[in-house]
Structure 1
């Protein structure tokens, strides 16, 4: 049986009569990274703060490493929960050096300095121990904040939108480095984010929240390829949505007769969801006839908007690698690869 770092059951929280968390429940195995993904105001930060002990839920229970820290008759203060917390903007102590910041939560013993140096090496900041926080860049401050959180070897690391204050170019590199540091230390971690790219590139498990509820929790590939509902589908990636009619194991739609995954729905009329990368384009005679309406080149890939069928509103956005080989006005044949998802 897999050991659990965190177990949450039926957690609810309201502010002034408004439900912010509603019966949230999930388990997180040790050594895994979970991303709590959702739009602003969905309750994800309140959930993180409840786990940390900064907020007191109205009901439910929280167990960390098998020990109840919140329940019907139990409340363990945040400093006793063995949690490392990395806020949005590092929040280093401005009057302490880098080394003193990292050592802040460590016992005063002979191994203290060794642990500080070990953490600096882990986050790629060797030689910075005597620097002051104001001498560091935003990305460097976040690395030190992570080192400080990891130093006491906590049961759980919590990261609250750790990259939101950083430039786009810096985020990707820092994401890789922080993911490496967490994996190397075998830490169990939870990151709150509204950025789908962050969640998918870093986490082994993603929990999608909406209106205080946990809508779906699964591995990233399952969230992307088999989203629980249309809202999740459109939130975690680009989609093409079409009307369709189910006929046995297939669904008829303006792009032809396509296979779909999952069980047969209770109704015949459905919405068909297709991801842009499922499309291929070729000669007109090799698919559904379509016309290129617009191309957008991003360098690493391109988005091609196609118009097809008799309905002027029937458009499909297709993602291809590199520069598009078609231009506006070209007629092509459109095909769909793999199963579609229906709702």
Structure 2
């Protein structure tokens, strides 16, 4: 079943956390809420879970309103499962009893519990307590506990943040496979773009309490709506620029308008999206100072200080010396331009 947020606004005192947010997590899909701390993504999840009361707007499951102002059923009365960053397993219960906790007594047979343990890669570990498992194993157990009752919607808040990067990648892969096989509608909060791309069928990018773009990983990577979205998924840098006739005045110097690919927005103020490997250096006594040169094998990462004090990265195979000055220009057609907000 789908999970839909309609015109959600929420504030903590005088601080607005969400501003008229609307989107739908499709049935059977994994939707990621991506953004930095304080952008409102966890607030959305907590409103759906019943950990916060809806102040404005509504939350629906399968087309039926589940929560709205004046109607906020508690978490246990909602058809949702929850997985937190730390798993939140009951420490005094075995893993088997943790999984059985949300199941009707008639359904909590040893065979059912063992089946879930096997699904999440914990076969034979049901008799252990949470402290006897690794962090990754605890998260697998938390996932099994949340999914065993068959919730219509699964809500996950930074579920892999507490494990190391190598294990995190495997957990993401296994979790996506399990959720897709079960056909569970899932909404997952993350601040990690790689994680969102790796797990999500669709991604909602949040900034300042709003969704700035909502689409598939391909949409966000290939067709970013803003420079900030392009920087998140393309690994590019943002430069503020002013259009002056057929030229662009940038912190790295004057660039020709031909540097830009695609349409150029109207107006003098632009945000330019540029990749480090698309920038070229040439010796110039009046150019920018090189702060650092870091060899990366075939290429080197060069850090220069721009005219306005920004530090910009360049990746180049050309010889560059620290402490010297260079003119920095982009390859033709390598820049994408966006209208500044």
TM value normalised by structure 2: 0.81
Instruction: Spell out the pairing of 1:1-343 with structure 2 (5 A cutoff).
Output: 5-72=2-69, 74-109=71-106, 112-236=109-233, 237-241=235-239, 243=241, 245=243, 254=254, 256=256, 257-261=258-262, 264-276=264-276, 279=278, 294-296=292-294, 304-305=301-302, 317-318=313-314, 325-329=317-321, 335=331, 340-343=336-339
Task: Report deviation, 1:213.
Answer: 2.0
Change in Cα spacing, 1:22 to 1:164, as seen in structure 2 (3 Å) is same
**Contact (CA 8 Å) 1:106, 1:112: kept in 2 or not?**
no
**Contact (CA 8 Å) 1:226, 1:341: kept in 2 or not?**
no
Q: Which moved more, 1:32-41 or 1:72-81?
A: 72-81
Change in Cα spacing, 1:6 to 1:22, as seen in structure 2 (3 Å) is same
CA distance in 1, matches of 2:202, 2:296: 29
Q: What 5-or-longer segments of structure 1 have no aligned partner? A: none
**Contact (CA 8 Å) 1:240, 1:274: kept in 2 or not?**
yes
Cα deviation 1:35-68 (Å, max 9, x = unaligned):
1112212221111010111110211011112221
CA distance in 1, matches of 2:296, 2:171: 22
**Contact (CA 8 Å) 1:306, 1:317: kept in 2 or not?**
yes
CA distance in 2, matches of 1:111, 1:188: 23
Task: Report deviation, 1:342.
Answer: 2.5
Aligned residues: 326
Cα deviation 1:233-291 (Å, max 9, x = unaligned):
4455431526253879x9797454134345x52314523212335x2879x8xxxx999
CA distance in 2, matches of 1:221, 1:339: 19
Q: What 5-or-longer segments of structure 2 have no aligned partner? A: none
CA distance in 2, matches of 1:243, 1:18: 32
Task: Report deviation, 1:113.
Answer: 2.9
